[in-house]
Every structure is written in structure tokens, then in C-alpha cells.
């Protein structure tokens, strides 16, 4: 449950034009499915796993497009919840020749998991669920979904980009697999009154662990992503979560193309590896290797976030 977007993608030849008060030529590349949760789901589906979206969409043209693309890319929507007032995020993506991008987005009507903790799935849905993915769109609904998943012993993986909601701290404590970008990890610690430097992924890991300890939160994995430098993870030794064992997961290949969706693909691939019985560290190694292929795509591509073996589409 979470963010689904419809992206309008434009190619801008001159990177210096990606700013304000600039008039320049551009080329429309087309329309594609986007959004962090949709990207993670489509990537997981392209790796061969059964994937479903149970968030909220409407009956407008953009919602219909999003649902069609989810289905076409292997994501089931039979448990999707309909709300006539809802719609996907609408995004304008401007891509420059060296992979530089500007993203403008409109959240009006985007409901994610909804504004109520009373999130329901049919019993066959819960029975089939192996990994739950949550983000920060529709915090109340995400809290309800994550709590129910944890009670049922289902792994919860997160993709957080915003801490603006007053109940975000409650949601933040629920995933047992915490994967944050370097900048967002620093933001979380700063907002918690802790000293944090976004230039030090290892320091961020220890800071996040200390925050968890102070709140009585236990997780199976804490990870901080750092773009082409890879991911730093902290797993726990056998002494009641007191000792954090840190590892650096380097990507096998580093691309200089458009990195849109790399972090989303990482989480989707991580969920796939967990479903296949891998431990968190093995799952993260798999995820880093799989997600690195996204950044190998040339600037100006218009692909949706899928593995190389999957079909792609642009309207």
C-alpha cells in the first residue's frame, strides 16, 4: 500500500535549463507508471514473484492508467480499494543528459494507504502475504497495515521519504526492516534531537540504533543507502540487540545514467530475497546487485522500473 504516480517524462537537452526563469526546448518522452511503492512492486514482479497492490485509487483516467500498468507489469490489483475522490500522484519528470533530473509532483487526491488504521484485507490476502511494504503516504493506513502484518509474523519493509505527518514516529517504529536514504536518516536523527551528519553512513546507522534502543524498538535490519557508493547495513549479534554488526554492500556495477527508481527497486528486490528465504544480509546483497542495473540505463530513457528481463512500456 502506498505511492502510485503517473509520470509525464520530458527530455531537456541542456542541464542548465533545469531551473527557474529559463526558456528552452524540450522533448516529451511519454507517460509511465511511477511512485515509490509502484516502482518497488513492479520491480519485484519482474523478478518473478507474486505481487499485489492494496492501496487506494479512484475511477479517473489517471487511476485507470495506473491500474492497467500495474496489471500489465505483473502486479495484482484485486484487493485495491476504490475511492471516487482518490487519484494517483501526478508527476512531471525532467531528465537531463547526464542523469540530472527534476521532479515536480502534485499530491492532491493521493491517498496511499488511507487515513484510517482500519485497513482490511480478505483473509486469503493475509494468508498469502509474505512481505509487507509501507511508505509514508497515508500514514494512518500504513500504521494499521504494518501493525496487522507484524502481529501475523509478516516482515515489514519500509520506504520513507516524509516525516511531516504528526504520527510518523509511530509508523517509523513498526518496520522490522528499516531501509532509509542517507539524507532521510540524517533528517530523522536531527528531528529526534540527535547530532547527525549525512556524510557518515556508519555514524547514521549507530544513531538510528541508539534511537531505537531509547524507544524499545527491535528490528532485524537497519540500512542506509548512499547512491553509487552502495548501502551500509547494521544487523544484530546474539546479545539482545546490544551489538550492531556493520557491513558495506557495494554495487557490482556503477552507472552514470538516470537513477530514477534505484532505491525503489532496491526495496522490491530485498522483499523478493526475503520471500525466497534469504537472511537480511544476503537479501541486501541481492537487492544491491539487482537495483544497480537501474542506474545503467542511459539518460533520457523512459522505462518503467523493471528488471532487464521484463517488458517495458511507454504510452
What is the set of domains in the chain, with CATH numbers? 5-16+27-296 (3.40.1190.20)
User: Residue 233: which of 219, 246, 242 has the closest Cα?
Assistant: 246
Which pTM does this prediction carry?
A: 0.92
Rounded Cα distance, 89 and 70, in Å: 15
- pLDDT class of 101 with cuts at 50, 70, 90: confident
Average pLDDT of the residues in 132-146: 97
Cell of 39: 516502482
Tell me the pLDDT band of 315, cut-offs 50, 70 and 90: very low
174-228 tens-digit pLDDT: 999 999 999 999 999 999 999 877 789 999 999 999 999 999 999 999 999 998 8
| Percentage above 90 pLDDT, the chain | 69
Average pLDDT over residues 36-54: 96
**What dihedral do alpha carbons 202, 204, 207, 208 form, nearest 10°?**
-110
pLDDT at 310 over 50: no
Query: pLDDT digits over 106-119, tens only?
Result: 999 999 999 999 98
- Model confidence pLDDT, tens digit, residues 148-176: 999 999 999 999 999 999 999 999 999 99
Range scoring the smallest mean pLDDT among 65-79, 166-180, 275-289, 300-314: 300-314
**Cβ contact 158:182 at 8 Å:** no
- Mark out the alpha helices in 28-131 (DSSP H runs): 36-46, 61-72, 123-128
Q: What are phi and psi of 94, to 5 degrees?
A: -105, 120
Average model confidence (pLDDT) across the chain: 89
Amino acid at each position: 500500500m502506498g505511492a502510485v504516480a503517473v509520470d509525464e517524462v520530458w527530455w531537456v537537452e541542456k542541464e542548465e535549463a533545469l531551473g527557474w526563469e529559463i526558456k528552452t526546448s524540450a522533448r516529451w518522452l511519454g507517460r509511465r507508471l511511477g511512485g515509490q511503492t509502484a516502482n518497488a512492486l513492479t520491480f519485484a514482479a519482474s523478478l518473478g514473484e507474486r505481487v499485489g497492490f492494496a492501496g487506494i485509487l479512484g475511477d479517473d483516467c489517471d487511476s485507470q492508467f495506473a491500474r492497467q500498468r500495474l496489471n500489465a507489469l505483473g502486479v495484482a490489483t484485486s484487493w485495491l480499494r476504490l475511492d471516487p475522490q482518490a487519484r494517483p500522484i501526478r508527476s512531471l519528470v525532467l531528465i537531463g543528459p547526464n542523469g540530472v533530473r527534476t521532479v515536480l509532483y502534485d499530491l492532491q487526491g493521493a491517498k496511499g494507504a488511507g487515513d484510517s488504521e482500519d485497513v482490511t484485507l480478505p483473509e486469503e490476502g493475509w494468508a498469502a502475504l509474505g512481505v509487507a511494504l509501507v511508505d509514508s503516504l497515508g500514514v494512518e493506513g500504513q500504521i494499521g497495515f504494518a501493525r496487522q502484518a507484524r502481529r501475523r509474523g509478516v516482515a515489514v519493509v519500509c520506504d520513507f521519504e516524509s516525516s511531516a505527518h504528526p504520527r510518523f514516529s509511530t509508523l517509523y517504529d513498526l518496520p522490522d526492516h528499516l531501509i532509509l536514504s542517507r539524507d532521510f536518516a540524517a533528517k530523522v536523527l536531527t528531528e529526534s534531537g540527535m547530532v547527525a551528519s549525512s556524510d557518515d553512513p556508519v555514524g547514521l546507522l549507530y544513531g538510528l540504533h541508539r534511537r531505537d534502543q531509547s524507544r524499545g524498538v527491535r528490528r532485524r535490519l537497519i540500512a542506509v543507502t548512499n547512491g553509487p557508493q552502495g548501502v551500509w547495513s547494521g544487523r544484530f549479534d546474539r546479545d539482545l540487540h546490544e551489538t550492531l554488526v556493520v557491513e558495506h554492500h557495494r554495487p557490482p556495477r556503477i552507472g552514470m545514467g538516470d537513477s530514477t527508481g534505484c532505491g525503489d527497486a532496491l526495496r522490491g528486490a530485498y522483499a523478493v530475497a526475503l520471500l525466497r528465504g534469504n537472511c537480511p544480509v544476503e537479501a541486501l546483497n541481492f537487492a544491491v546487485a539487482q537495483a544497480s542495473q537501474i542506474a545503467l540505463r542511459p539518460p533520457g530513457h523512459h522505462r518503467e522500473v523493471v528488471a532487464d528481463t521484463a517488458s517495458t512500456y511507454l504510452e
